[in-house]
Amino acid sequence: MKQIQQAPAAQREQTGAQWKHRCDKDNAFSKNLPHRQGKVYRLLLDGVPRSAADITIALHLSDPRSAIRDLRKRGIPIADEWCESVYGGRFKRYFIHSDNSRKEVCDE
């Protein structure tokens, strides 16, 4: 009979455990995010609309939509817009407005 082995525990900074909002003047806010979410957040901060495929290519992530979903749950105002593709399909572009970039961090 084979004995079941347990997988090693995930690192705390990658699981997002005990994450809290911080009001820092520098960009320490994104350093407290889990790894995937922090990468997506820093990329979207410039306000340029990007599709999920664009984010995948830029950050080498397999599917950034779950990171975007989790960032929205944390209160980060990620906007999206539907776009028509050349071949008749639709896709979304995600971005953070430059005037909203720090609203989730500081209640000023």
- pLDDT, tens digit, for every residue of 41-77? 999 999 999 999 999 999 999 999 999 999 999 999 9
Q: Hey, is 94 helix, strand or coil?
A: strand
Beta strand 90-95 pairing with 50-51? antiparallel
Whether 30 and 39 have beta carbons less than 8 Å apart is answered as: no
Whether 47 and 98 have beta carbons less than 8 Å apart is answered as: yes
* Helix intervals (H) in the chain: 12-15, 28-31, 35-44, 52-59, 65-73
pLDDT for 21-43, tens place per residue? 333 333 667 788 999 999 999 99
Q: Hey, is 90 helix, strand or coil?
A: strand
Phi-psi map region of 89: left, alpha, beta (phi>0 left; psi -120 to 50 alpha): beta
Kindly report which listed range (5-19, 35-49, 63-77, 79-93) carries the lowest average pLDDT score: 5-19
